[in-house]
Amino acid sequence: MGNHERPLHCSSFGTVASAYAEHRPDYAPTAVRWALAAAPGSRALDLGAGTGKLTGTLVTLGADGVAVEPDSAMLAQLRRALPGVRALSGSAEEIPLPDGSVDAVLAGNALHWFDMAAAGPEIARVLAPEGVLAGLWNVLDTRVDWLAGLEQVSGRAVIGPRDTVATWRAATARLHLPGPGRAARFGAPEQAEFEHGQRRSADSLVETLATRAGVLVMSEQERQDTLGRIRAYLASRTETASGEFDLPMLTGVLRVRQL
């Protein structure tokens, strides 16, 4: 994705904030525990928090959490869902927190949107010594036959390299780096994946995929054609043609410690 395309994709989610809150999955608690296990304490920032999918898991696990999100519509959904959580307007490039105020910075399906040339120093600033940065992604288990077929039918704009079990590691391994010619602020990356899943119907899976940035920036005709093709495929598979089914996923985690 070029630098000129990134702002368009980043700003697309607020247009479907309600659908995002309803249909996007949360994160495997085992994955979040692993992300936090290397942190020196329990203070955690959910950066690029969206509607609070990751924030909710942090709260459930007992972390002392704060959320930061730049989009006002997404932030409103987060505050509605988690009224007891401190939720601030801000971005990865300008984090509204004091120096050394958190032990871990987590980003759920968001690290790839950050401009790490600016966000890297900001994340390092708010982290306590030896604090942890972790990116989390919910990925489809395309080792399952019907999901491999869905990937082919959907196309890369809908299911890209960060979205499948086969490719997420390579696609995310260097996202913590601040960019060419700049000193690294974080140590060697660790990656792990954890079983996850979501109860879906064909209609709700289509609604979920419709909240992907690649779909949101399509023309109306292209969007309708793409989603129609996905609906037809799901209707053709015995696993998804009627009623509810389990959507096999994993939560992948990239974890690095501040140098």
Per-residue model confidence (pLDDT) at position 26: 97
* Tens-digit pLDDT profile for residues 19-70: 999 999 999 999 999 999 999 999 999 999 999 999 999 999 999 999 999 9
Lowest mean pLDDT among 4-18, 25-39, 99-113, 140-154: 4-18
**How does the average pLDDT of the chain come out, rounded?**
94
Per-residue model confidence (pLDDT) at position 52: 98
Q: Which of 145, 140, 26 is nearest to 81 (CA)?
A: 26
* Tens-digit pLDDT profile for residues 216-226: 999 999 999 99
Q: Is the confidence at residue 6, as pLDDT, over 70?
A: no
Q: Which residues contact 123 (CB under 8 A, 6 or more apart)?
A: 47, 92, 95, 105, 133, 185
Q: Is the confidence at residue 11, as pLDDT, over 70?
A: no
Q: What is the pTM of this model?
A: 0.94
Ordered by start, the domain boundaries in the chain are 15-257
User: What is the topology classification, in CATH, of domain 15-257?
Assistant: Rossmann fold (3.40.50)
* Tens-digit pLDDT profile for residues 189-209: 999 999 999 999 999 999 999
